[in-house]
């Protein structure tokens, strides 16, 4: 791929690929910050919403990496992966909204304090 010839008018597409890589790195850092902040005891009423926001950026990064590459199979794979990410995000958003309605907020400390909600959300295998 390094020696692949590029068409002169489409050389800007590789910048979208770099944008996707930067967003992937930012997502990994965002997950680490959320995990560290939650485990250090920082209280926030919107932990689940913050996690949903970080997760929702995955589709954009997948699309930009696939579209920025010069391969149609990478583009098709990134579209497939992006739609899978959006499907997961829609299901996760429904779970977050239902937990917000049941618990009366989006704080994870309330979720871990009530064991009956964990039994409903995470069923035993």
- For the stretch 12-31, pLDDT in tens is 566 767 888 888 899 999 99
- For 64-105, write each residue's pLDDT tens digit: 888 777 778 888 888 888 888 888 888 888 888 887 887 787
Per the structure, the complete domain to which residue 45 belongs is given by: 14-121
Into how many domains does the chain fold? Answer: 1
In a domain, 3, yes or no: no
Instruction: Give every CB contact of residue 74 below 8 A, 6+ residues apart in sequence.
Output: 65, 66
pLDDT at 2: 46
> What is d(CA 47, CA 53) in angstroms, rounded to the nearest whole number?
10
Q: What is the mean pLDDT of the chain?
A: 78
The answer to whether position 2 is within a domain reads: no
pTM exceeds cut of 0.75? no
Sign of the CA dihedral with 102 first, then 103, 104, and 108 last: negative
- Cα distance between residue 104 and residue 45, in whole Å: 10
Residue 8 lies in a domain: no
């Amino acid at each position: 791929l390094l020696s692949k010839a590029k068409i002169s008018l489409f050389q800007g597409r590789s910048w979208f690929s770099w944008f996707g890589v930067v967003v992937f790195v930012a997502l990994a850092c965002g997950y680490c910050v959320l995990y560290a902040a939650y485990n250090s005891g920082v209280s926030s009423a919107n932990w689940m919403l913050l996690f949903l926001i970080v997760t929702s950026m995955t589709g954009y990064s997948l699309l930009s990496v696939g579209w920025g590459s010069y391969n149609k199979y990478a583009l098709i794979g990134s579209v497939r992966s992006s739609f899978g990410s959006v499907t997961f995000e829609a299901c996760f958003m429904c779970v977050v909204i239902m937990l917000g309605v049941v618990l009366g907020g989006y704080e994870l400390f309330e979720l871990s304090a009530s064991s009956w909600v964990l039994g409903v959300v995470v069923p035993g295998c």
